[in-house]
A and B are shown apart, each in its own frame.
Chain A
Amino acid sequence: MSATQPTQQTDIFGKPVDEQHKDNYLTHQRGLMSWLFTLDHKRIGIMYMIAVLSFFFVGGVFAIVLRVMLTMPIADASNQMRFEMNDTRNIVESSGATVPEEAIKLLYEPGVTDAEAQQQKIEVVLTDAASSAGAGAKVVEYPELINARDAAAQKYTQDLTNHNTFYNQSFTLHGAVMVFLFIIPAIPAIIGNFVLPLMLGAKDVAFPRLNLASWYCYMGGALFFLWVLGKGILNFLVPTLEGVWGGGGLDTGWTFYTPYSTETNTAVVAATAGAFVLGFSSILTAVNFIASIHMLRPKGMTWFRMPLMLWALYATAVIQILATPVLAITLLLLIAERAFGIGIFDPALGGDPILYQHFFWFYSHPAVYIMILPAMGIVSEVISVFSRKHIFGYAFIACSSMAIAILGFLVWGHHMFTSGQSELLNAVFSIITMLVAIPSAIKVFNWLTTMYNGSIRLDSPMLYALGFIWLFTIGGLTGIYCATLAVNIHIHDTYFIVAHFHYVMVGSTLFAFLAGMHYWWPKMFGKNYSERWARWGWLLVFVGFNITFFIQFIMGALGMPRRYATYIDKYTIYHHISTGGSLILTVGLFLVLFVWIHSLLKGKQSPANPWGANSLEWHTISPPPHANFDHAPPATDPYDYSHWRWRPEIAGYVLNEDSEPEEKDAMARNDS
């Protein structure tokens, strides 16, 4: 056994960290206030993590509600009869009488033409039953039975309305929470905040106060959504409340399309106000990232020597800056429309509802690249590190990020092919949309080439990254189907679209997010997690995800429309498989959560550089000290791994002895 134990904190040279340097950002200050008022980007990242993951949970609950509701659609004809028969029986029995099964069957016999004959038949059955039942039991009379049947029919209609309302509200809140509160902030705000200054070798982001303000904006926006949600739940439990404080919940879909969103009595204004405030959080993060990347790069880190994650975050920030304000004005117009009836989007006032869609998608298509670009950044890091090979085609990957960011602004019309957009623009948007596939494919090919001949380690971050490549390829290729005008007419607003965007949003962004979390986890908390269980978690998530969503491509191509609480029998099997998959996915995600919590409680101390990566965040101890670095590290090629050597006794990599003096020298020089 060597002197250094894995339980001890070690620096990048593998030497144990002495007492006076043990202080890290987690222990630097204590108490709730030290977190709520912190200006430390690492702590803000962690606070974002807690908040964003909580809303991931909320969105997830809605997802499960949706999938479970879809296994019991109450609206198709055979179900309707079954429900009404049951209810009739229950109503009769609750009045203290009984009804023979045969009478009910006759009552609901399909295809009856002669009503009177049927009535006689039923009455015969009823009198037979009454005479054979004896004195104690009371058998229902025919008129009462008919009353019960009518009551059951009414109850069914009521149930159906409730069911549909509940479903509409669930999918809207699922979508809105997942998009605005989870997937947009997930990678930039959690991982980006944490690693961006570290990767720059900087002490913090350029504007730490704005960074904290962005977290509060997030929480403020989230409060609006909680208000919408809470109002919805209370209105559901106590229907009279709706008269008191207006409608709750939200049933417009996450897209808030007019004119429905200006007419529904659900809490549209609160929800849009929430999204508006969340927009500020997004903008503040982006301003910070752009200024930091411009101004805080260390000596020697030119634009084309930045880690690709920084390129990705930069491109993301550019989109956030250019797109989010348009969302803000869209939402303001929507609020003005509801509050003052200005009618810009209202056809009854000569307004133009298609214009709303232009407004909305001018933000929301670029927003999907806000989701995917940072994910691609993570994958670029992970693939290279775990193949132990320099990233292939660095400049291509970097430039394709910017190309995607810019092209992403020119394709929004592909969401409007069937909504009345002109033929000319349909064609133009279709062509430009196909062009986006080029930079996307450039990235995929470069990742594959990076892996070629590499010495690949299948640790959990790499597994997620490989999952990403696979799922993004499917998602992106089906995007081409969607972008093909003729095909789009067929599949628009079907489950095919649902499958497409879940492949890119969940399959790609969530997978990359998990890759990033597993990759930087040891740096964030200085604790190792159980690699074995993490892999099991990956397997469940991967398998569950594919079962849930692949089947939806088929279902959608067969014509199952999206946003319906019910369907004809033909689709039953697909929905059941999908729901089964979603349960596996849920179990997998909880397993991942369990692995993380276990690591926090029981995890062993992790070394400064467990993966042998060379970007600057691995040049400091884990977890990093309050000021990130004792000495500013030298910026070298982030994908050159030759200086790092595996040290089994600390289960991590250390800097080569030969490069040690150089590194120290460079650090000393940088400080001056």
Chain B
Amino acid sequence: MNKVDDNHDPHLAHHFDTPVQQYSSAKIGMWVFLATEILMFGGLFCAYAVYRGTHPDVFLYAHHFLDTNLGAINTVVLLASSLTMAWGVRAAQLGQKPILVIMLLLTLLGGVGFMGIKTIEYSSKYSHGLWFGSDNAFYVKSGKYTNPEELTGAIEYGESHAMPHEDKGELTDEHLELQVKDAATEDVLDNQAAGEAQDQSLPASAQSNIGNATNAPAGLSSKFAEVEGDGSAYVTSEKKPLTYEDLDPQQQKLVSQFFQIYFLMTGLHGIHVLVGMALIFWLFIRALRGTFGPKYFVPVDLVGLYWHIVDLIWIFLFPLLYLIH
């Protein structure tokens, strides 16, 4: 024990024999912790996979509501901040204090940029009534939309992203389709309103079906005959759903699930970004004071690992949420 103290290394804890042992322990501890992060996100990825796997059309339809450009910009921002972080770690290892400080600052800016863009995305979702939980225009509980007033606007908002590159040039058709859709949506709303007034003698379940019945896709019965007895055949339809009406009632109910999962995943990820930014800020302060150098850079290294894992998770989130095909 005394021999260890002779080293006079202020950063060596008493229960380690050598700085390398301490450094390696810290690393392995961090990696094990990162494994828990991956499994925690893994839960959400599982929920995502199950919903997308069983209802691919819903996800295909709903992902048009997300802004792919902003998502892609955010990916680049996060990758760049990962680069600066890795550079920062290198600077700390080499004892280049000014570079370390600049790199930490740039990384922090990357975080700010990422969260800024996320805020723009979130607020446009919010202003179109596409928020978390029951504040989502697509939220249907026991056959009722919770905020039907917002539904039409929300649908238009999302589908306007989808239209241009799918149906280029057929302006008239598109126009027509939009009108049909509006009429149909109003139909749904009317039926909602008239819900109570409808024939009380019908069982409740049948009543809620009446609303759907009027706008059921044509040709359903033949489709039913084709695939009867094979439920999984329902999972994919022949046509890519571009409008809300292309979805069958069961699927329409699930559109809000996409948003719940989107907000859960990006929200949890955003919280991690914020934590990472706080940690980097702490490093920044300490780096200004010149704490880090070739002999002591473990905190920079560990926070770097954390920042990279946040990046790594985004690398998966981006194509899964924004780039559904």
Are chains A and B touching in the complex at the 8 Å CB cutoff?
A: yes
B28 near A202 (CB under 8 angstroms)? Answer: no
Question: How close is A305's CB to chain B, nearest CB, in angstroms?
Answer: 19
* Interface size counted on chain B using CB atoms at 8 A: 42
Per a CB cutoff under 8 Å, which of A205, A283, A326 touches B43?
Answer: A326
B50 near A352 (CB under 8 angstroms)? Answer: yes
**In the complex, chain B residues whose CB is within 8 Å of the CB of A332:** 268
Question: For residues 251 through 310 of chain A, which have their beta carbon under 8 Å from a beta carbon of chain B?
Answer: 283, 286-288, 290-292, 294-296
A329 near B40 (CB under 8 angstroms)? Answer: yes
B46 near A359 (CB under 8 angstroms)? Answer: yes
**In the complex, chain A residues whose CB is within 8 Å of the CB of B236:** none
A202 near B15 (CB under 8 angstroms)? Answer: yes
Chain A, Cβ-Cβ closest to B41:
A329
Question: How close is B185's CB to chain A, nearest CB, in angstroms?
Answer: 19
Per a CB cutoff under 8 Å, which of B1, B25, B139, B142 touches A206?
Answer: B25
**In the complex, chain A residues whose CB is within 8 Å of the CB of B253:** 349-350
Question: How close is A303's CB to chain B, nearest CB, in angstroms?
Answer: 15
Give A348 to B33 CA distance when docked, in angstroms: 37
Give A255 to B12 CA distance when docked, in angstroms: 44
Question: For residues 130 through 168 of chain B, which have their beta carbon under 8 Å from a beta carbon of chain A?
Answer: 132-134, 139-142
A295 near B39 (CB under 8 angstroms)? Answer: no
Question: For residues 282 through 313 of chain B, which have their beta carbon under 8 Å from a beta carbon of chain A?
Answer: none
A349 near B139 (CB under 8 angstroms)? Answer: yes
Chain B, Cβ-Cβ closest to A327:
B43
Judged by a CB distance under 8 angstroms, whether A456 is at the interface is no
B43 near A350 (CB under 8 angstroms)? Answer: no
B25 near A325 (CB under 8 angstroms)? Answer: no
Question: For residues 19 through 52 of chain B, which have their beta carbon under 8 Å from a beta carbon of chain A?
Answer: 21, 24-26, 28-29, 32-33, 35-44, 46-47, 50
B47 near A344 (CB under 8 angstroms)? Answer: yes
Chain B, Cβ-Cβ closest to A342:
B260
A326 near B35 (CB under 8 angstroms)? Answer: no
Q: Which of A97-105, A179-187, A333-341 contacts B (4 or more CB under 8 A)?
A: A333-341
What number of residue pairs across chains A and B have CB atoms under 8 A from each other? 119
Most buried by B among A294, A324, A328, A340: A340
Most buried by B among A202, A321, A344: A344
Residue-wise, chain A 344-377 has the 8 Å CB interface mask toward B (1 for contact) of 1000111110010011000000000000000000
* Interface size counted on chain A using CB atoms at 8 A: 48
B264 near A208 (CB under 8 angstroms)? Answer: no
B29 near A287 (CB under 8 angstroms)? Answer: yes
Task: Given A322-B39, A355-B50, A359-B46, verify A291-B132 contact (CB < 8 Å).
Answer: no
**In the complex, chain B residues whose CB is within 8 Å of the CB of A343:** 139, 141, 256-257, 260
Judged by a CB distance under 8 angstroms, whether B14 is at the interface is yes
**In the complex, chain B residues whose CB is within 8 Å of the CB of A202:** 15
Question: How close is B135's CB to chain A, nearest CB, in angstroms?
Answer: 8
Question: For residues 193 through 219 of chain A, which have their beta carbon under 8 Å from a beta carbon of chain B?
Answer: 197, 202-208, 210
B40 near A336 (CB under 8 angstroms)? Answer: no
B133 near A203 (CB under 8 angstroms)? Answer: no
Judged by a CB distance under 8 angstroms, whether A116 is at the interface is no
**In the complex, chain A residues whose CB is within 8 Å of the CB of B3:** 671-672
B32 near A329 (CB under 8 angstroms)? Answer: no
Question: For residues 306 through 322 of chain A, which have their beta carbon under 8 Å from a beta carbon of chain B?
Answer: 321-322
**In the complex, chain A residues whose CB is within 8 Å of the CB of B29:** 206-207, 210, 287-288, 290-291
Question: How close is B255's CB to chain A, nearest CB, in angstroms?
Answer: 9
Judged by a CB distance under 8 angstroms, whether A330 is at the interface is yes
Most buried by B among A197, A206, A336: A206
Residue-wise, chain A 466-509 has the 8 Å CB interface mask toward B (1 for contact) of 00000000000000000000000000000000000000000000
A287 near B33 (CB under 8 angstroms)? Answer: yes
Judged by a CB distance under 8 angstroms, whether B221 is at the interface is no
Most buried by B among A210, A324, A326: A326
Per a CB cutoff under 8 Å, which of A296, A321, A330, A348 touches B35?
Answer: A321
Task: Given A329-B44, A351-B257, verify A340-B132 contact (CB < 8 Å).
Answer: yes
Judged by a CB distance under 8 angstroms, whether A627 is at the interface is yes
Give A567 to B198 CA distance when docked, in angstroms: 45
Give A273 to B236 CA distance when docked, in angstroms: 39
Task: Given A343-B257, A349-B141, verify A330-B133 contact (CB < 8 Å).
Answer: no
**In the complex, chain B residues whose CB is within 8 Å of the CB of A355:** 47, 50
A341 near B134 (CB under 8 angstroms)? Answer: yes
**In the complex, chain B residues whose CB is within 8 Å of the CB of A288:** 29
A291 near B32 (CB under 8 angstroms)? Answer: yes
**In the complex, chain A residues whose CB is within 8 Å of the CB of B132:** 340, 342
Give A672 to B1 CA distance when docked, in angstroms: 10
Majority DSSP secondary structure for residues of A touching B: helix
Per a CB cutoff under 8 Å, which of B1, B25, B257 touches A294?
Answer: B25
Task: Given A325-B37, A329-B40, verify A349-B21 contact (CB < 8 Å).
Answer: no
**In the complex, chain B residues whose CB is within 8 Å of the CB of A340:** 132-134
Question: How close is B18's CB to chain A, nearest CB, in angstroms?
Answer: 10
Per a CB cutoff under 8 Å, which of A203, A329, A342, A349 touches B140?
Answer: A349
Task: Given A325-B36, A333-B264, A350-B250, verify A341-B133 contact (CB < 8 Å).
Answer: yes
Residue-wise, chain A 114-130 has the 8 Å CB interface mask toward B (1 for contact) of 00000000000000000
Give A294 to B29 CA distance when docked, in angstroms: 10
Judged by a CB distance under 8 angstroms, whether B216 is at the interface is no
Question: How close is B145's CB to chain A, nearest CB, in angstroms?
Answer: 12
A348 near B141 (CB under 8 angstroms)? Answer: yes
Give A247 to B41 CA distance when docked, in angstroms: 31
Chain A, Cβ-Cβ closest to B50:
A355
Question: How close is B41's CB to chain A, nearest CB, in angstroms?
Answer: 8
Give A328 to B37 CA distance when docked, in angstroms: 10
A350 near B15 (CB under 8 angstroms)? Answer: no
Chain B, Cβ-Cβ closest to A354:
B50
Task: Given A206-B29, A343-B260, A344-B261, verify A329-B43 contact (CB < 8 Å).
Answer: yes
Judged by a CB distance under 8 angstroms, whether B254 is at the interface is yes
Chain B, Cβ-Cβ closest to A336:
B264
A204 near B15 (CB under 8 angstroms)? Answer: yes
B21 near A333 (CB under 8 angstroms)? Answer: no
B25 near A295 (CB under 8 angstroms)? Answer: yes
**In the complex, chain A residues whose CB is within 8 Å of the CB of B139:** 343, 349
Question: How close is B125's CB to chain A, nearest CB, in angstroms?
Answer: 15
Most buried by B among A292, A329, A336: A329
Give A503 to B40 CA distance when docked, in angstroms: 31
Question: How close is A317's CB to chain B, nearest CB, in angstroms?
Answer: 8
Question: How close is A262's CB to chain B, nearest CB, in angstroms?
Answer: 12
B141 near A342 (CB under 8 angstroms)? Answer: no
Give A326 to B40 CA distance when docked, in angstroms: 5
Give A350 to B261 CA distance when docked, in angstroms: 13
Question: How close is A323's CB to chain B, nearest CB, in angstroms?
Answer: 8
**In the complex, chain B residues whose CB is within 8 Å of the CB of A333:** 43, 47, 264
A344 near B1 (CB under 8 angstroms)? Answer: no
Chain B, Cβ-Cβ closest to A324:
B36
B32 near A295 (CB under 8 angstroms)? Answer: no
Give A592 to B280 CA distance when docked, in angstroms: 52
B257 near A290 (CB under 8 angstroms)? Answer: no
Per a CB cutoff under 8 Å, which of B1, B33, B254 touches A350?
Answer: B254
**In the complex, chain A residues whose CB is within 8 Å of the CB of B43:** 325-326, 328-330, 333, 359
**In the complex, chain A residues whose CB is within 8 Å of the CB of B33:** 283, 287
B32 near A286 (CB under 8 angstroms)? Answer: yes
**In the complex, chain A residues whose CB is within 8 Å of the CB of B41:** 329
Taking beta carbons and an 8 Å cutoff, which residues of A are in contact with B?
197, 202-208, 210, 283, 286-288, 290-292, 294-296, 321-326, 328-330, 332-333, 336, 339-344, 348-352, 355, 358-359, 627, 671-672
Q: A291-B25, A294-B25, A294-B28 are in contact. List 8 more A-B contacts (CB 8 A).
A: A206-B29, A283-B33, A295-B25, A324-B36, A325-B43, A326-B43, A344-B260, A355-B50
Leading 5 A-B pairs by shortest Cβ distance: A340-B133, A329-B43, A325-B40, A203-B15, A325-B39
- Sampled A-B contacts (26; CB under 8 Å): A203-B1, A203-B15, A206-B29, A290-B29, A296-B15, A321-B32, A322-B35, A322-B39, A325-B36, A325-B43, A326-B40, A326-B43, A329-B44, A330-B43, A333-B264, A340-B134, A341-B133, A342-B132, A343-B141, A344-B257, A344-B261, A348-B142, A349-B139, A350-B253, A352-B50, A627-B1
